[in-house]
Amino acid sequence: MSFSDLPALLAEALAARGYEAPTAVQAAVLEPEAAGRDLIVSAQTGSGKTVAFGLAIAGEMLGEDGRVVPTREPHALVIAPTRELALQVSRELIWLYGPTGARIATCVGGMDASKERRQLNHGAHIVVGTPGRLRDHLERGALDLSNLRAAILDEADEMLDMGFREDLEEILNASPNERRTLLFSATMPKPIVQLAKRYQKDALRISTVGEDRGHGDIAYQAVAVSPSDIEHAVINLLRFHEAETAILFCATRDNVRHLHATLTERGFSVVALSGEHSQSERNNALQALRDRRARVCVATDVAARGIDLPSLSLVVHVEMPRDAEALQHRSGRTGRAGKKGTAVLIVPYPRRRRVEMMLRGARINAEWIDVPTPEAIRAQDHERLLAALLAPIETDEEDLALADRLLAEKTPQEIAAALVHAHRASMPQPEEISDRAHSDRREDRQPVHREGFDDVAWFKMDIGRRQNADPRWILPLICRRGGITKNEVGAIRIGPNETAFQVPRGLASKFMTAVQRSATEDDDVHFLPSDGPPQGGHGGGGGGQGGPRGAPRGGPNRAAAPRHQAKPYQRKGPPRGPRPQ
């Protein structure tokens, strides 16, 4: 399909912006069966949704001459969850509908409300706004929806998640029943279905998730790390990719604040976005990203809504999203408009199985890789530096004069070495990541006898090497769930699919009682009594029999990062459960 069947003025506007053919979602809303009907559209972020609903309402907006029908009251209303997204939608509709003579008013929080009321009073064909500000104008009588022909809810799922249901209902109730209602959403949770049933009639369901851009322009990668190494993994990923713009997703504003401070201290140009930042601070942060004063953004899910950064090529999930749909929505911030992007999931070892299930459910083929090593990062730095220095440049007489002076004082090799040194000095240093390649191998080590472990009981957990079981987090998990200390854990034996460990027989009953008391439905790891070590088990670090080869001196008892290093991600490691009393 092409844009040739559109009204001439819209087709010309699209051609002027470089559009040659419609995306999947744009083609779907232009199908004859969609004309004039209510629509429920599932489409990925960055798939051309704004242009899609702009084209979908052309029949309600344009007369026979291809220009807008004169009106004082708006014919179309677009509701978006955030100020940034509303402004972005408004900019898109301005160039799309500008040639038709349409007037577009934008009503969002943080802007001059009296100026918005004057715009509405002068008449607007399309109004774009956020739920709270639109409801305010409606209640004050500045927004008249009596002549509304089409209402569009963009990212409707996020508006409900953010608590705008009451605002949306009041706005829709104030508009005519015969209007068209178009719901655009990356996901379709139950509240969206309920909203559709209440405010739509015979709605056509359209889903282009995975059809248009899908995951084709996004390379998914996953790295499994010790919970104490999460921040080190972030640093090395940023240094390895050196993306023009990167966004790091955290779960809470506290974690955003902590990671932002850590990266700033390490020398990265970074900004933060979370619920604690004012609109002015958000504007300054986004502007810093757009004009390249900052290259990294640390954000929560909600704070990142509506962000459109064309240079964004790297998304890092520092903490995992709540589900697969949120994962896709986060990752969809990159890989737009035909550009390639990379989304990296940082997965604590205990969470790998859950993440693998999430990826399978979303039909995402993620490549499991190792965290980039300092050696790999330096190799990348060498290639980037060579490419930059060997690229053709324009010079003037002043540059050449300074070059001649340098050559008179130093040899070419000394000058080049100084340039390389200056380049390296300006970049944050990569981190050493805990080496777990040999952490489960200690066949050639002899057990160390300890007093109190002559008579032991064996227990087992339903995880092993295939699930990335590692003494670094297994030992703290055993202690927390069983209410014992590290000195009361004997040998740990890691098998292919299960891990066995020793507890002094005198503590076995107390241990199992504490495990049962601390169990929750969300536990990923389950404990059971065992007859002995698993078949093919490798020695792991326990309080009783030493640490694994390659682990820090003192075994994994000392492998956990210091408190200041692991905060705030320590609690994101092993599965949760109440601490035994």
Q: Which domains does the chain have, with CATH numbers?
A: 8-207 (3.40.50.300), 218-373 (3.40.50.300), 376-425 (no CATH), 456-572 (3.30.70)
264 forms beta bridges with none
Query: For residue 560, what pLDDT is reported?
Result: 35
Phi then psi for residue 298, to 5 deg, are -105, 125
What is the pLDDT at residue 358? 87
User: Would you state the structure tokens that stand for residue 304, as one six-digit string?
Assistant: 């990142």
Q: What is the separation of C-alpha 256 from the centre of its chain, rounded to a whole number of angstroms? A: 13
Looking up tokens 């191998």 gives: 441
- For the chain, give the mean pLDDT: 82
Strand spans (E) along 187-311: 204-207, 218-225, 245-249, 270-273, 296-299
17-21, 199-203, 575-579, range with the lowest pLDDT: 575-579
Percentage of the chain lying above the pLDDT 90 cut: 36
Kindly tell me if the per-residue pLDDT of 441 is higher than 50.
no
Q: Which residue has the tokens 């390379």?
A: 219
Rounded Cα gap, residues 35 and 57, in angstroms: 9
- Whether 213 shows a pLDDT value over 50: the answer reads no
Q: In the structure, what pLDDT confidence band is assigned to residue 210 with cuts at 50, 70 and 90?
A: low
Query: How does pLDDT run across 299-330, given as a tens digit for each residue?
Result: 988 777 767 787 889 999 999 887 777 788 78
The whole-number pLDDT of residue 218 equals 86
Question: Using CA atoms, how far apart are residues 271 and 12, in angstroms rounded to an integer?
Answer: 39
Tens of pLDDT, residues 35-75: 999 999 987 666 788 999 999 999 999 988 889 988 889 99
Residues 6+ apart with CB under 8 A from 316: 234, 237, 238, 246, 247, 248, 249, 343, 344, 346
- pLDDT at residue 42, rounded to an integer: 84
The answer to whether the beta carbons of residues 38 and 202 sit under 8 Å apart is yes
Cα separation, 151 vs 153, whole angstroms = 7
Between the alpha carbon of residue 419 and those of residues 223, 237, 386, 426, the distances in Å are 34, 24, 11, 11
Which stretch of DSSP H or E encloses residue 15?
A: helix 8-16
Residue tagged 């987090």 (tokens)? 473
Q: Choose among 150, 143, 266, 242: nearest CA to 200.
A: 150
Nearest to 486 by CA among 534, 411, 545, 443: 545
| Range name among 178-187, 365-374, 387-396, 514-523 with the lowest pLDDT average | 387-396
Residue at 395: amino acid letter? T
Q: Residue 561 pLDDT > 50, yes or no? A: no
User: Cα–Cα distance between 319 and 356 in angstroms, integer?
Assistant: 15
pTM of the model: 0.54
Output the pLDDT for position 562.
34
**Residue with tokens 């703290």, as numbered in its chain:** 476
pLDDT above 80 (res 177): yes
pLDDT at position 446: 44
**Contact indicator for 306, 84 with CB cutoff of 8 Å:** yes
Cα(456)–Cα(453) distance, integer angstroms: 6
pLDDT for residue 523: 75
Alpha helix positions (H), 98-155: 113-122, 131-139
Q: Supply φ then ψ for residue 155, to 5 degrees.
A: 50, 55
Spatial distance between the Cα atoms of 81 and 93, rounded to a whole number of angstroms = 17
Token pair recorded at residue 193: 């279905």
Residue 322, classed as helix, strand or coil, is coil
- Do 131 and 168 contact (CB within 8 A), yes or no? yes
